[in-house]
Amino acid sequence: MLLLILQIFYSVPVALGATVTHKFHDHERALDANPPAYRNHAQAFAGTQAIVSADDPEIKPPEMNGNFVLVNQCEYDLYMWEAWTMYQTAEPILVPARTSFRKELVSQYKISEDQVCIDNCGVTYKISKTKELIGGDGGNQMQFEYSTKLGEIYFDISFVDCVKNLGYRSGDANNCPAWAEGLRIDGQKEPHSFGCEMLECLPGEMCIYDQVGAYYIDEPNPKWGLRDPVKICPSYKAALELYFRTCTGNPDLDQ
């Protein structure tokens, strides 16, 4: 059987967006083998995952896809967990106040010992103000989510695991990290522009809209008559940086 080892690059957070890069194999990471179930909305919106046998001779190494960048513009620290399918990092990554965290966008990964996702492989970053991760109604985590499919990146903001007091097209997001200070996802403009769309929740805004804002419930279309708040980068390459920003009401960080 062909052993597929996906090499993933990540960066520790440092002040003002500076970067120190490390490399490791995914089998060396601390992973929780039984994480809580979750839904990656970007992946679900993009459609069906492409899953093949791990010993498929046609599997090719993933291309360089650019970087996921968590930009913590808050005046407080954030804790981040990376998750996909049946795996989640067992320990959170600390992203100190006013720092950035960079990691290569993930486009392929093993979902079991004998299966590999090779396209539309959703990745979720769960964000909390504490080392304890609480989901469900009134939980303490928001999610930045993305999935790469056929050369495009789909992305969204989810408050499903922190909102409370849900009503029709309404909900209280005060428990959601950085909701009060604003959140935004956008791509870099210079020196290369990849034509990425922007997704934003202004500080303290309920941001429940048609095709924009954030997920407050898993299926806003059939339940609330609102189309999914998912946006797209029409192309991705090694030079792309996709910024997932918290506390956007605060001064920007140098990238």
- pLDDT, tens digit, for every residue of 62-116? 877 789 999 999 999 999 999 998 788 889 999 999 999 999 999 999 998 899 9
For residue 184, the SS3 value is: strand
| CATH at residue 107 | 2.60.110.10
Instruction: Tell me which residue of 67, 40, 116, 70 sits closest to 238, measured CA to CA.
Output: 67
- Domain for residue 199, yes or no? yes
Do residues 6 and 25 lie in contact, with contact meaning Cβ atoms separated by under 8 Å?
yes
- Domain for residue 23, yes or no? no
CA 100 to chain centre: 14
CA distances from 79 to 101, 198, 236, 247 (A): 11, 24, 27, 14
Do residues 146 and 42 lie in contact, with contact meaning Cβ atoms separated by under 8 Å?
yes
What's the CA angle centered on 17, arms 13 and 18, to 5 degrees? 80
Residue 36 has a pLDDT of 52
- Identity at 104, one-letter amino acid code: E
Phi (first) and psi of residue 61, to 5 degrees: -60, 145
- Domain for residue 50, yes or no? yes
Do residues 42 and 103 lie in contact, with contact meaning Cβ atoms separated by under 8 Å?
no
Instruction: Tell me which residue of 174, 162, 178, 159 sits closest to 216, measured CA to CA.
Output: 159
- pLDDT, tens digit, for every residue of 23-73? 222 433 444 445 555 689 999 999 999 999 999 988 888 877 789 999 999
- Domain for residue 1, yes or no? no
CA 63 – CA 66 distance, rounded (Å): 9
- Domain for residue 126, yes or no? yes
- Domain for residue 201, yes or no? yes
**Which residue did the predictor score with more confidence, 143 or 13?**
143
Q: How many domains does the chain have?
A: 1
Predicted TM-score (pTM) of this structure: 0.85
Please give the residue range of the domain that contains residue 110: 31-246
Largest CA distance in the chain: 52
Looking up tokens 């804002």 gives 213
- Domain for residue 149, yes or no? yes
Helices (H), 36-91: 41-46
- Domain for residue 63, yes or no? yes
Residue 37 has a pLDDT of 55
For residue 58, the SS3 value is: coil
